[in-house]
Amino acid sequence: MAVVLNEALVEKEIKTKIRRVAIVISICFLFIFFRLYYLQILKGSLYSQQSVNNRIRLSSIPAPRGIMRAKTGEVLVGNKPSFDLILIPQDTPKVSETLDALAALLNLPREALQKRYEKQKGRPPFEPVTLKKDLSWDNMSLILAKKPELQGVSIDVVPTRSYASNIFAPHVFGFVGEIDRTELDRYAPEGYRMGDCIGKFGLEKWGEQYLRGVNGGLQSEVDAYGNRTKILAEVNPVAGRTITLSLVPRVQSIAETLVRDHPGAIVALEPYTGEVLAMASSPCFDPRLFARGIDAQEWLRLTNHPEHPLLNRAIQSQQPPGSVFKIITAIAALEEKVIDPSFTVFCPGYLNLGSRTFNCWKKHGHGYVNLHDAIVQSCDTYFYTLGMKLGVDTIHKYATMLGLGEKTGIELEGERPGLIPTQEWKKRRYGYPWQKGETLTVAIGQGFVLCTPLQLAAMTAAIANGSYVPRPHLVLSVDAGTPRFEPKPEKNKNITLSPKTLTIIKKALCGVVNEPGGTGGKARIPELLVGGKTGTAQVVGRRFYSASSGKVPKRFEDHAWFVALAPVEEPKIVVAVYCEHGGHGGSAAAPLAREIIRAYLLPNQQEQPQPVMLPAEETEEAD
C-alpha cells in the first residue's frame, strides 16, 4: 500500500514539473513571437531601410575649378576650401527633428534650412543635400562636436573661388553660380548635376569648357547609420585647366582704383597684338558674393541699383564720344582730299546753318585755325566745316574702317556694337530724311554717334600701329589639354590710310597733350611723349537744365572721354577713359589715362596714382 502511494506522488510531481516547463517554454515562445512581431511588423520598415543602407556607397569628390593667372604667373582667380553643411536623407531617420537641432545649434532660421532641403527634393536619397555653405570655423566645430547626435549630418570640403587681394575685375573674370533647371537640361549630357557650379558671366562663362574639372569618386562601405567603415576604391578628381590672361596686375589694380569712386571705365590695350592690359568698370561688385550662391536680397540690391553695377561699361556702355570722334573726321577729310593740313577756318565761337546756330565750346571762338590747331584746341567750328564738306556717309566710311559701329569680338559676352549713322539708316529707322545739321553734330561725335570705350581703344590702336584694327583679347593661352586653345593675335580689319595722314594725326595728338593751349595737358608725363584726344559728350541740351537753382543735375552733366597712345614715336600702349557724367575730358579723364600709362611704362616711378597740377594755361576745361 505504501509503495502505491509513493508512485502516485512521484507521478504527480513529474506532471507538475512538466506543466511548469511547458509554461516556461510557452512564455519563451510568446516572448519570441512578440519580439518577432515588434521587429518585423512594428519596426520592419525601419530596420529594412537600415539593412539596405548597410552597403557599398559611391560618393562624388568635386574637382577644383581651373585657375586664371597673369602671364607673369600671378594667380588672379584661384580656389580655396569651403566647409559645407550637408545632410544625407537616407541616413537621417528624423529629418524634421534634425533640422530643428541644426537651426538651434547654429542660430540659423529654421525656414531657410527647410527651404534648402526641399529645393533639392527629387534627387536620390543617398545624395547629400547642402544646407549651408561656407561654414565658419566656430560653426564647423559645433557640428563636429555634436555629430554623434546628428545622424546623416556631415561636413563636406568643397573648392570655391578666391581672388587676388588687390584685383577683383568682376566684369572681366565674371562669376560662377549653382546650375539652374534650364542650364541643367542643356548641360546634363555633359555630366552636370543639380548643385554643381557653372560659369554664369564673364570669362568664367566663356571658359567653362576649360575651367571645369573632372570630379573624382569614392567607393566606400558604410554602416546602418551611414558612417564610413572602409574605403574600397578612390578616384582622384582632375582640376580644371589654367587660363593665362593678358592683364597686367599692377596696371589693372591702378585702373580699378582710379574708377572706384565714380561710374566709368578704363581700357588699356597693346596696340599691335590687341592684348587687354587693363579693363576696369565702375561701379563694381564683389564676385565673392556669387562664389557659393548669392543671397536673394543681395541680388535684388545689385539688379535694382540705380548705377547698374553689373553693367560692364567698357563693352556695354554706348555713349556719344564727343570730340574724340574729331580724329575720324580729320582722317576722312585728309584721305578724301577735301582739305590739306594748311586749310584754315575762322572760328568766331559758332557756325550758322540756315536758321540754326551751332556753337563752339569756346564762347568767344578760336580765331583762325588750321587742322593741327583745330585738333589741339578741339575747335568745334572747324569740324562743323569739315562735316559739311564730307557728308555723313563719308564719315561713316572711315569710322567703320577704324572699327567703330561694330563689336570688337572680345571674349566677353554682351558686348554692344555702338552706332555710326548713315542717311539710309535714319530713313529706315525713323522714316525721315537726313538733315544737314545732323551731319555737323556727327562730325564732332554727338547726335546719333555711339561708341564703347573698348571700340575707341581699338580705334586708337589702329592709329598707333598704322595698319590694322587689332581684335582685343584677354586670353593668351589655355594649358595643354583637349580641346587645345592657343589664340593668335587677330586683325579685325586692315586700314588703308596714307602714312602722311597718320603722321599728321599723331603730331596733332601729341600737341593736344604737350603744346600750350592743348586740351589734354593733364595727361602729360615729362619722361614720355604722350599723345591723346579729349572728348566731352553733352548728355542733354542746356534748355533741359533746371533754371531755378542754376546748378546742373548730376544726371545731366557731360560725359568725359580721353584716348591716348604712348610713346607717340613708337606706341606700346593705348588707353581709353570714360567718366560717366564726369564733366570735361581734359580735367576728368586725361589724368586717369596719364596714371595708366605711367603704371605700365614707368612702373618704378610710383606705386600709387598721384595728382599732378599743371600750369593754368595748360589745364583748359574744354573737352
Residues 481 and 602 in one domain: yes
* Among 585, 576, 583, CA closest to 539: 583
Mean pLDDT of 251-271: 95
Residues 194 and 337 in one domain: no
Residue 18 lies in a domain: no
Residues 241 and 254 in one domain: no
**Residue 59: what pLDDT?**
66
Residues 418 and 272 in one domain: yes
| Amino acid identity, position 610 | Q
Residue whose entry in the numeric block shows the C-alpha cell 506543466: 19
Give 194's contacts (C-beta < 8 A, 6+ positions apart): 120, 123, 179, 184
C-alpha 207/C-alpha 475 separation (Å) is: 10
Note if 323 is an active site residue. yes
| Amino acid identity, position 113 | L
Per DSSP bridges, beta strands 264-269 and 129-132 are unpaired
User: Domains in the chain: how many in total?
Assistant: 2
Residue whose entry in the numeric block shows the C-alpha cell 573726321: 329
Cβ atoms of 99 and 110 closer than 8 Å:
yes
Question: 82-96, 298-312, 423-437: which has the minimum mean pLDDT?
Answer: 82-96
Domain that holds residue 110: 56-245
C-alpha 509/C-alpha 623 separation (Å) is: 14
Question: 294-298, 450-454, 539-543: which has the minimum mean pLDDT?
Answer: 539-543
> Which string of DSSP letters, residue by residue, matches 62-114?
PPPPPPEEETTS-EEEEEEEEEEEEE-GGG-S-HHHHHHHHHHHHT--HHHHH
C-alpha 87/C-alpha 206 separation (Å) is: 33
Residues 256 and 235 in one domain: no
Quote the mean pLDDT of the chain: 85
pLDDT band at 522 (very low <50, low <70, confident <90, very high): very high
* Among 372, 387, 418, 403, CA closest to 531: 372
pLDDT band at 441 (very low <50, low <70, confident <90, very high): very high
Residues 81 and 98 in one domain: yes
Residues 203 and 264 in one domain: no
Lookup: cell for 534: 579729349
pTM greater than the 0.85 cutoff: no
Residues 229 and 281 in one domain: no
pLDDT band at 341 (very low <50, low <70, confident <90, very high): very high
Q: Which of 323, 467, 546, 587 is catalytic?
A: 323
CATH of the domain at 181: 3.90.1310.10
Q: Is the pLDDT of residue 254 over 90?
A: yes
pLDDT band at 614 (very low <50, low <70, confident <90, very high): very low
pLDDT band at 613 (very low <50, low <70, confident <90, very high): very low
Question: 49-58, 93-102, 405-414, 442-451: which has the minimum mean pLDDT?
Answer: 49-58
> How many other C-beta atoms lie within 10 A of the C-beta of residue 295?
9
Residue 481 lies in a domain: yes
Q: Is the pLDDT of residue 518 over 60?
A: yes
C-alpha 86/C-alpha 158 separation (Å) is: 11
C-alpha 585/C-alpha 590 separation (Å) is: 6
Residue 306 lies in a domain: no
Residue 38 lies in a domain: no
**Residue 547: what pLDDT?**
46
Question: 49-53, 113-117, 163-167: which has the minimum mean pLDDT?
Answer: 49-53
Residues 229 and 347 in one domain: no
Q: Is the pLDDT of residue 616 over 60?
A: no
Residues 440 and 494 in one domain: yes
pLDDT in tens, 35-75: 777 767 766 666 565 555 556 666 677 788 999 999 888 99
Residues 463 and 409 in one domain: yes
Mean pLDDT of 560-587: 94
Tell me the backbone φ, ψ of residue 371, rounded to 5 degrees. -60, -45
Residues 94 and 108 in one domain: yes
C-alpha 288/C-alpha 293 separation (Å) is: 9
Task: Using DSSP, state whether 221 is helix, strand or coil.
Answer: strand
CATH of the domain at 510: 3.40.710.10
Contacts 24+ apart (CB under 8 A), 112-119: 117/87
Number of separate helices (H) and strands (E) present in the chain: 21, 22
